[in-house]
Structure formats: structure tokens, C-alpha cells
Structure 1
């Protein structure tokens, strides 16, 4: 008997036969089939909790940084794609179709905040720097849209006008496909200055000197803008921010939903800045507000919104309804601006969209007392 055979007998070990291996694999397969759905359910239930925890942790870190330094962290991500023509655009928003490749911005975030480009004037740029936002990193993620043979540089894609590839992006305003030769480096460092474009919630100016604003007056719900978000700049919290480089955070948080999808590439959290005093002045002096949503789903600002002599000047109604409520267009307000009877059971308040926020107020709670607050654009009179 060989030494190897004696050692095998002594230790009680032997090799697995092919049949035994196959049996084990089959059993494991059955176990995975049985357990996977339960694990998937647990995972889905946990995603929202993890995401809310991460968002809350980010808010706490920003608040702590502000209290210690008396300013906001620098090095935030400017959620734009700039190009060599001097144009700024919102990167492609997820169209929730995994079959056509990944876009850049998550659909849900774009739907909640209604990102549009706003070009800073000198006063806004100066105020950002005074708040501590002394430098930014332009995201400059152009997606893979040019990989699609149906799309060429210069094509217009998006929701409005004559589009060549409407299913590829769900941005609120049209996007022009940027030629590779005109693309800027990703995460390019910039300093706030007049003419720099930023992502703003709901409304934006098309140039530093523009007196006309565009806004997203979408049908409500589920696409209603969040109350109090109007006219606030939105930046991303990435690994380049001072929260990380200062050592306050080990790394930038990644939203849990990003680990379960290939539909978008930007997976960070957001910082909604307070409405700047300089932005407030621009809004008060605006000549007009033009809705980028046209046709049936358009919801416009009321007639007295831009009239300083009107009691409703700069003011709008916000309706609060239970989070998770399933509502269809027209169930809050009809096309003529009349609140529906069911709204009597919802909370209501008036929001002033022209007034600046305190400089430390970077937190907007989309729910107050478990209510979801949405702006009601075309209600002609305040409650």
C-alpha cells in the first residue's frame, strides 16, 4: 500500500467523485432558487432605508462642516456637461430603459428637482465664493449617446421641439449632442464666475444677463416640483469635495440604487443650496417666465406672479399629501387652475419663490409630517 493511500486512510479524507460534485451543485442550485427571491425582497426593502440614512448622514456632515468653518465645502460636483463652444447642458437623464445603454443622471432625481441650466451672473458667482464654494468640478459626462448609429453630433434630443431620438434621454429641456472634439475633460476644475452654467431646480436663466427665465411647469403629480426647491442650485457630493479631502468623511457616499442598475452613471448624493440673495434679485427683476413644458401637460404660473402690485407676487400654492399617495394628473388641480374637491383633505401653504433662504439652510425636507409637498403652478388665487 502506498504512503499516500495510508495517509488518506489515517486522516479519513478522500477525494470527491464527479457524481458527488454534481449532486452538490444541484442542491446548491435549488437553494439559490428558493432563497434568492427572499433576499431580493429584503434588498429592495433595505434600499430606501439605506438611501435615506446616507442622505441624512450627508446633511449632517454638511451642517457640521458649516458650523466649524462658517462656510460650505469646496470641491462640489457641478452637475453639467460643458463644451468648447461655451455651452452648458444638463447631462443626459436616465430614461429608465436599460436596453439602450446608461445615461448619466438618475431619472428620479431629475424628476424631483427638475434640473435646468442656469447661467450665473457676477453677483451670484461672488455669493457662491463667499459661501465657501470657491471651486467646482464640472461633471462633463457626455454618456455614450454617440455610440448609437442613429445619433450624430449636433442632433437635438430630449422632450421639446423636433427631436431625432426622443427615447434616448428624458431631460426636461432639449440637449444637443456634443461632438467628441468639443468635449471638455471630466471632473474639470472651475471657479464660479459670470457665464458658468450650473444645475438649478425648476428654473434657470439662459445667460448671465438674461431677464427672461425658463421653468418646468409639469403636470402634477407625479412630476410636480418639490416645494421650496425653485431657484436653488444643486451640486453633487463627490470624492473631490472638502468633506472627503478634509478627512471629515472617509469617502463619498454612493446611493444604494446605483448598485442595482446600469441605467445611469452618476451615483452620488446631492446638496441643494439655499436660494441665493443674488438669484432672488434676478427672479424679482425677471421680465417673464416661460414654461418649457408645452401643450396638454403644461401648468403655468398665475397671472399675478410677476406683478409687484399683486398680493400673489412671487407666491405659489404648495399642497401636501401623504407620502406614497397614488395620484393622477388633474386630481389636485384641473387645467383651469381649480383645486379639486379631494384636495380639501390635504394640507396647503403658500410658498414665496422670490425670497432668499438663510445662508445655512441647505436642507429641504421633501416630507413634513409625513407629507409630500408639491408646487401648484396654475392656481389663480392663494388659499
Structure 2
């Protein structure tokens, strides 16, 4: 008996499928190109805005945590980062500023950070050192990055232009000290000289060194104030108030040019520093011959740089004009923060300031004391 069963299955013909033609692919790619060209600039703006938002959020948290610490202890954190390099025993300099050339490797400080602060080395006297210690800053960590130098410190690395350092001279050779070396703020600064980074002006252990550019400052009120970094070893972190030291997203993006990327504490102007200003007013290089000139220092805020010789009284560009007192000490609570690119939170007025340092009623490029 035949057991084969008839089948009802019918094979379906395979549908004819063809790919895109070359012309169709070109049309699609052209349309996509137009879309990318229109959308990319907007995405770029969103990215930049996001970086600024994260940076502001980081600084906002830092201000909050710093305020909490200050309210609980009535002092500042210890083991902050001292933004200096020791070039030999008890001899200091401001670290190398980025030349914005990634091909020769990163340097220490962002160029914008330096341009907005115009840092100067400032050797403390005994009264300033005692005041710092009374504020709780008994120990600091010297940055000692040496990013501009060869491995043995015998000279500068290839292609680095040391003149970029904002008129601050780097030592030709250095005897390297350990990176982030912990230092106790000395009591006798005559026996153990000790220096910090100060905004705009500093005593170089011989005389006052004033930055003479009247344009493109960050914050006039920071003038004559010490800046220290919130590194991972400071007592905000080690005390558990913050989990770790935040880093600036803009600095992360610029890591091929810059190594230092911590947020910073701008200390209030010390009473001892203000006393030194008043005692040495004749030698500071300001146009005013009395302390009143420093108590009524005029400044203008702007986004677009005014022409040299901009007359403050005329104020043809309708810039915001403010008067600052940089001769007086500040209360302990008058500290500020800034990111490693030199911006404070919350932002104050416009992007830059011009300061009438020579007290001639105008904002110029270079002061002639």
C-alpha cells in the first residue's frame, strides 16, 4: 500500500528585491549633510552651555560646603594647595602658564586663569603668616608641578615659550621639590621665607611687584588676595564634608594644554597685607600718592574691550563703573571661589574688568607709574 501523502504546499516565488541606486544614496547623503550642517552649531552651543552649567554647579556646591565648614569651625580648611613652585630652598615662583600648544605637552596653569588673576609671587611677613595660621591655614601643599621643565630641571622643555607667563619670569633651572609637598606655614619668615600666589600684586622679597596691565582683569575685588586650591588632601575632603575634590569640565576638555584643574579659594584680603600696602604706598607704583587712591580705585566692566585711553568720566560705551577699596582688610566671611579658568560663582557683571591702576581717569594697556 502506498503510504505517501499528497502535499498541499505550494512554493511561493521569491520577491524581486533590489538595493538603492548610487543616485539615491548620493541624495540621502546630501540631505544628511545639510541636516548636520544646520544642527551641529546648535549642538555645539548646547555642549558649551552644559560645561558652564556643570562648572557653576560644582562651584555652587563648593560654596555651600565651604560655608558649612566655616560655620561649624569658624576657620578655613587646612592642607589647601599653594599655587607655587619651589625653585630652590625657600625660593618660589608662579608655575608655568599654558602656551596653548598641545604638541609640546601641557603646562600647569590655564592661560585664562593667569590672564584673569595676573598672579604675582608674594612672600609673607611674620604678621601675614600668623594671620593665616589664626584662620586655620597652618599647613599647605606646594603644587611643585614643574611642567615647563625637563625631567632633571636643567632647562625648559622643547618648544615652550616661557615669555607666555604673563610677565612673570621663570627660573632657568630648578631644584625640584616633591609634588604637593606638605609645608607648615612658618612663624619666622625671615629665617624661613615662604611665598604664596597673590592676585595682581606681590612682594618678591625685595620690593613690590605690580602687574601693570589695566585691562582684562577677572575681579577687581580679588586684588591683593591670596588664592589656594581645593585639592583632594584638603580638610573639606578628608573631614568627609565633600566626597572628593571636583574638577572643572572645561579643564578636563583642555587636559592636553593644562595639568592644574582644581577649584580655588580666594581668601579675604588679610589685615596684615592691607597694613603692608599702607606702609609702602609710595613704592607700590600706583598713580595715587595716598592710601585714598587705593580705597577709591575705579573699574569698568565690559564684554568687548574698550579702546586704549578709555575715559571713565565720559563712559562713551555706557560701561558699568564701580569703585573698589583694595587697601582695606576684609572680614573672614568675604572669601570667594573660582574655577581653574578664573571664573567666580555667581558671575559678577560682565566678562572682564578694566582697572584704573595709575589713577589717571582712563583705562589703558600699560601703566606708566
TM over 0.5, shorter chain: yes
> What 5-or-longer segments of structure 2 have no aligned partner?
1-28, 338-343, 363-369
2-side partners of 1:95 and 1:318: how far apart?
Answer: 28
Q: Distance in 2 between matches of 1:178 and 1:166?
A: 15
2:201 equivalent among 183, 200, 203:
203
Match of 1:174 in 2: 169
Q: Give the aligned CA root-mean-square deviation in angstroms.
A: 3.1
Find the residue that maps to 1:190 and give its secondary structure: strand
Instruction: Structure 1: give runs of 5+ residues left out of the alignment.
Output: 1-26, 158-163, 291-300
Cα distance in 1 between the residues matched to 2:147 and 2:305? 33
Q: Which residue of 330, 344, 366 corresponds with 1:357?
A: 330
Q: Offset at 1:341?
A: 3.9
* Equivalent residues of 1:253, 1:268 under 8 A apart: yes
- 2: distance between equivalents of 1:156 and 1:203? 28
3-state SS in 2 of match to 1:199: strand
Q: How many residues align?
A: 315
Superposition map of 1:261-300 within 5 A: 261=254, 262-286=256-280, 287-290=282-285
Deviations 1:291-340 (A, max 9, x none): xxxxxxxxxx32x2x425xx53543112133xxx222442xx34xxx437
Show CA shifts across 1:83-127 (max 9, x none): 334310111011222222110011111111111100011111110
Question: How is 1:1-383 mapped onto 2 (pairs within 5 angstroms)?
Answer: 40-146=44-150, 153=154, 166=161, 169-179=164-174, 182-193=175-186, 194=189, 195-207=193-205, 210=206, 212-220=207-215, 223-224=216-217, 226-261=219-254, 262-286=256-280, 287-290=282-285, 301-302=286-287, 304=288, 306-308=289-291, 311-312=292-293, 314-321=295-302, 325-330=303-308, 333-334=309-310, 338-339=311-312, 341-343=314-316, 345-363=318-336, 367-368=347-348, 373-380=353-360
Kindly indicate whether the alpha-carbon contact (under 8 Å) linking 1:367 and 1:373 is maintained by their aligned counterparts in 2: no
- Which protein is bigger by CA-based radius of gyration? 2
Shift in Å, 1:36: 7.6
Q: TM-score, normalised by structure 1?
A: 0.74
| CA-to-aligned-CA distance 1:23-44 (integer Å, 9 cap, x gap) | xxxx9xx99x959876554322
Partner secondary structure for residue 204 of structure 1: strand
Q: Structure 2 vs 1, CA of residues 124 and 46 (structure 1 numbering), >3 Å: closer, same or farther?
A: same
Contact 2:123–2:202 (Cα < 8 Å) also in 1: yes
1:282 to partner: Cα distance: 0.7
CA contact (8 A) 1:120 1:197 kept: yes
With the length of structure 2 as denominator, give the TM-score of the two structures: 0.76
Secondary structure of 2:240's match?
Answer: coil
